[in-house]
Amino acid sequence: MSKILLKVSSELDFQTYNGDYDGVYFSNPKEYICFHDKGETFIDLCALSPSDGLEVSRRAPKNSTFVVDDVMKAIFIKSVNPTAKISYYLDGYNENLIPIIKANGFDVTVKYTALAPERIDKFHDFGAKVNGKELSRLDEVGVLKYWQVDYITIIPQIKP
């Protein structure tokens, strides 16, 4: 069963949409990460500098999953927090990255448009969890549930 993550980019978004989700995906975590205290936490470090990434990884809730877009960032985070979970961000599908992801025990965060059932199966075959990201449409959520991804990131489009 897929877990639903709420993507937020500000403290205001977090406070506005804090509701019945399995976790949260922080796309800009530096300012407000300390406010999240329940569910699973995904923290996007792709756009942060190494020093900001270090600060966020130290302040992050236990058992956070850090989303990174290169191996050096992953190694850096693991050096600071050896028990950290890493989800490698794939903007598009790249077969050449599979050995790196597999060898390092990373999970993956993949844009919806780059996913397909056979790609999800490849990741699941070596134990990687798959997060389908960049979603805002309910039909995409239904497709990813059918494809059996582990996480689905929902981006709110309309403020309540």
- Which residues, at least 6 apart from 142, have a Cβ–Cβ distance to it below 8 Å? none
User: Does a structural domain hold residue 160?
Assistant: no
Kindly state whether residue 159 falls inside one of the protein's structural domains.
no
Residue type, 124: H
The angle formed by the CA atoms of residues 101, 104 and 108, to the nearest 5 degrees, is 40
Cα 113 from Cα 59, distance rounded (Å): 32
State the number of CA atoms in the 13 A half-sphere of 13 facing the CB. 19
Quote the CA–CA distance of 143 and 117 in Å, as a whole number: 10
Q: Which long-range contacts (CB under 8 A, 24 or more apart) does 43-49 make?
A: 43/67, 44/89, 45/73, 45/77, 46/73, 46/89
In tens digits, the chain (160 residues) has pLDDT values of: 899 888 887 777 767 766 678 888 888 777 666 555 567 888 888 888 877 877 888 778 777 899 999 888 888 888 877 888 999 999 888 889 899 999 989 999 998 889 999 999 999 999 999 999 876 677 788 899 999 999 999 877 655 4
Q: What is the pLDDT of residue 73?
A: 85
For residue 7, give the nearest of 23, 22, 26 by alpha carbon.
Answer: 26
What is the reported pLDDT for 18?
64
Residue 41 sits in which domain range? 3-154
Quote the pLDDT of residue 35: 58
Q: What is the pLDDT of residue 114?
A: 92
Domain presence at residue 118: yes
Residue 39 lies in a domain: yes
> Is the CB of residue 152 less than 8 Å from the CB of residue 144?
yes
- In CATH, what number is assigned to the domain containing residue 71? 3.20.20.190
The number of folded domains in the chain is 1
Distance between terminal CA atoms of the chain? 27
What is the torsional sign of CA 31, 34, 83, 69? negative
